[in-house]
């Protein structure tokens, strides 16, 4: 267990709560820290359903299914992002944004923060950007890059994303002389899983290409589909 994880568990255990529900919530948070689940909504549903089943007064035929939406885990702030993150060098640039490597001050977790200047956005572009974020808030899949939280001030909007350290699929294929059929099959399996998940939710990505498929770490085989700028929801 890393020092960061130990620190977070220790902090959770120091919370002093007077009633049952915050105590349950505290244990839930500790389990998240310990297990670091890829699919937060699935993990949460299973955790609380198991908890209910272990209660003496639990009646399956009378209890409603625990339903959680990924949007409930998305945070939007009006705080100054610099109170929470140290913003470092630029690691990527787009037509309307820059991406900075950033470190969360309390946990030490490295994130990628997409910074958009409001004055650079025309009305339609601002609306499209917010639609993209609204769509991403609803997604929960281990092979889709997550937007974790958003900050906003008078001049800029900051989107905090999970950090990808492994480069793009394009970079991996062109640099790895041993990228064989087995590795390719593993990538395709994960990619199809992500696309199938999107289609089940009536979402078209619209720009699936090697440059938009990132590896989580240099030595990792887990991929993440990113860049939903051209995505859209379609009617059945």
Catalytic residue list: 207
Alpha-carbon distances of 31 from 6, 99, 196, rounded to whole Å: 12, 31, 29
Q: How far lies 119's CA from each of 70, 127, 204, in Å?
A: 30, 13, 29
Q: Six-digit token pair at 115?
A: 């910074």
The phi-psi region of residue 206 (left if phi > 0; otherwise alpha if psi is between -120 and 50; otherwise beta) is left
């Amino acid at each position: 267990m890393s020092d960061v994880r130990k620190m977070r568990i220790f902090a959770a255990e120091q919370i002093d709560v007077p009633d049952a529900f915050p105590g349950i919530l505290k244990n839930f948070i500790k389990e998240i820290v310990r297990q670091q689940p890829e699919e937060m909504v699935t993990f949460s549903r299973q955790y609380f359903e198991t908890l209910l089943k272990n209660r003496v007064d639990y009646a399956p035929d009378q209890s409603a299914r625990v339903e959680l939406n990924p949007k409930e885990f998305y945070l939007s702030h009006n705080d100054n992002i610099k109170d929470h993150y140290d913003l470092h060098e630029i690691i990527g640039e787009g037509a309307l944004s820059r991406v900075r490597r950033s470190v969360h001050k309390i946990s030490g977790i490295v994130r990628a923060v997409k910074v958009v200047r409001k004055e650079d956005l025309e009305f339609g572009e601002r609306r499209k950007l917010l639609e993209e974020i609204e769509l991403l808030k609803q997604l929960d899949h281990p092979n889709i890059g997550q937007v974790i939280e958003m900050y906003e001030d008078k001049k800029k909007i900051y989107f905090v994303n999970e950090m990808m350290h492994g480069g793009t699929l394009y970079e991996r294929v062109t640099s790895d002389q041993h990228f064989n059929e087995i590795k390719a099959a593993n990538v395709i399996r994960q990619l199809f899983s992500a696309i199938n998940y999107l289609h089940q939710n009536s979402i078209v990505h619209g720009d699936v290409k090697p440059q938009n498929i990132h590896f989580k770490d240099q030595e990792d085989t887990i991929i993440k589909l990113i860049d939903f700028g051209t995505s859209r929801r379609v009617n059945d």
